[in-house]
Amino acid sequence: MADTALQAVRQRLRIAIQKNGRLAEPARALLSACGLAWREQRDQLFCQADDAPFDLLLVRDDDIPRLLADGHCELGIVGRNVLGEACALLREQGGEPAAVELRALGFGACRLALAVPDAQPWTGFAGLAGQRIATSHPALLRAWLGERGIDARVVTLSGSVEIAPRLGQAEAVCDLVSSGRTLAANRLVPVEDVLASEAVLAGAGQPLDAERGALLDGLLRRLDGVLRTRDRRLLVFRARRAALPGLLALMPDAEPPTVCPTEDGDSVSLQALWPGIVPWQRLEALERAGARGLMVLPVERMLA
């Protein structure tokens, strides 16, 4: 490869995301909110961001830790459970985790939980000794059992873990739970949490060269801004100066507002960041206290 072409590759950051599945759309939405735009074509596994030094790898979630470890990408958006399982497996083999969690992203929430048949009385995890536990997260489960000194047998299944007790393959399961409906439908009850999971931004364990390190810092800054503002609203209104104390008293949960004088000198224009939805009653109270031209605006992005 010519020197300049090699240089161009080096100056880019590759981000692996799930092509299809639960994390696929929220991961794309998050990267878009960070200002990245790209065009995907059917069956394409690789695409370049428009006018930005980032590439996307569209893959299965289970492949992301290995792609990071092997240096095929620098970043990945993946469930903490998948990242944790890959790291726990490496630790079992005496290796060091080759990928690290950089940010929790606030979507894809679930928990890896131990569950037992509802007809089986639960007397605490010591009762798991000698039992078979079916899971698709064997290394995480072995680490959890090991920390508690429980000698149980881990049965590794790649899917349909919840039917293992009915098929006589195991006495308990360790599976991902979000609403709990799947467990209930299979007459299982969750008894212990092994891991609280959500989607995370993972990075390769190795430090990046200066140029890509700077790209990563820039992306993290934008990401932090998006994460900070995701649920916020900007509240904007005008009011008479004299009404200000009463109005501010109605906004204890907002960040300290910016207050600007208007041309008539007697009024002010005010804007404040509000955490989450502004309750209807509060808007009415603000209007009664003298707020005029009230607007509640979504915050798209905030730079640190």
C-alpha of 152 from chain center = 31
Residues 119-138 that bind ligand PRT (CB under 6 A): none
Tokens at 116, concatenated: 């037992």
Decide: 161 and 116 in contact? Cβ < 8 Å.
Answer: no
**61 interacts with Zn ion by CB under 5 A:** yes
Decide: 45 and 14 in contact? Cβ < 8 Å.
Answer: no
Instruction: Give the start-end residues of each E strand in the chain.
Output: 13-18, 46-48, 54-59, 75-79, 99-104, 110-117, 132-135, 153-156, 172-177, 188-197, 199-204, 232-240, 258-261, 267-275, 292-298
179 binds, among ligand PRT, Zn ion, none (CB under 5 to 8 A by kind): ligand PRT
> Cβ of 163: how many Cβ atoms within 10 Å?
16
Contact window for ligand PRT (CB under 6 A) among 38-46, 171-179, 224-232, 280-288 = 171-179
**104 interacts with ligand PRT by CB under 6 A:** no
**180 interacts with ligand PRT by CB under 6 A:** yes
How many Cα atoms occupy the beta-carbon half-sphere of 43 within 13 Å? 0
Helix/strand/coil for 6 = helix
23 binds, among ligand PRT, Zn ion, none (CB under 5 to 8 A by kind): ligand PRT
**198 interacts with Zn ion by CB under 5 A:** no
Contact window for ligand PRT (CB under 6 A) among 65-73, 121-129, 173-181, 296-304 = 173-181
DSSP 8-state code for residue 166: T
CA torsion sign for 295, 25, 11, 214 is positive
Query: b/e per residue, 81-110, with b = 16+ CB within 10 A?
Result: bbbbbbbbbbeeeeeebbbebbeebebbeb
**21 interacts with ligand PRT by CB under 6 A:** yes
182 binds, among ligand PRT, Zn ion, none (CB under 5 to 8 A by kind): ligand PRT
Least distance between Zn ion and beta carbon 79 (Å): 9
**175 interacts with Zn ion by CB under 5 A:** no
Decide: 236 and 295 in contact? Cβ < 8 Å.
Answer: yes
- Give me the residue whose beta carbon is nearest to ligand PRT: 79
d(CA 235, CA 271): 5
**175 interacts with ligand PRT by CB under 6 A:** yes
Contact window for Zn ion (CB under 5 A) among 61-69, 97-105, 114-122, 203-211 = 61-69
131 binds, among ligand PRT, Zn ion, none (CB under 5 to 8 A by kind): none
**60 interacts with ligand PRT by CB under 6 A:** yes
Least distance between ligand PRT and beta carbon 47 (Å): 17
Contact window for ligand PRT (CB under 6 A) among 9-17, 54-62, 186-194, 263-271 = 54-62
175 binds, among Zn ion, ligand PRT, none (CB under 5 to 8 A by kind): ligand PRT
d(CA 107, CA 109): 5
Contact window for ligand PRT (CB under 6 A) among 34-42, 169-177, 277-285, 287-295 = 169-177
Binding residues (CB under 6 A) for ligand PRT: these are 18, 20-23, 60-62, 79, 81-82, 108, 110, 175-182, 197
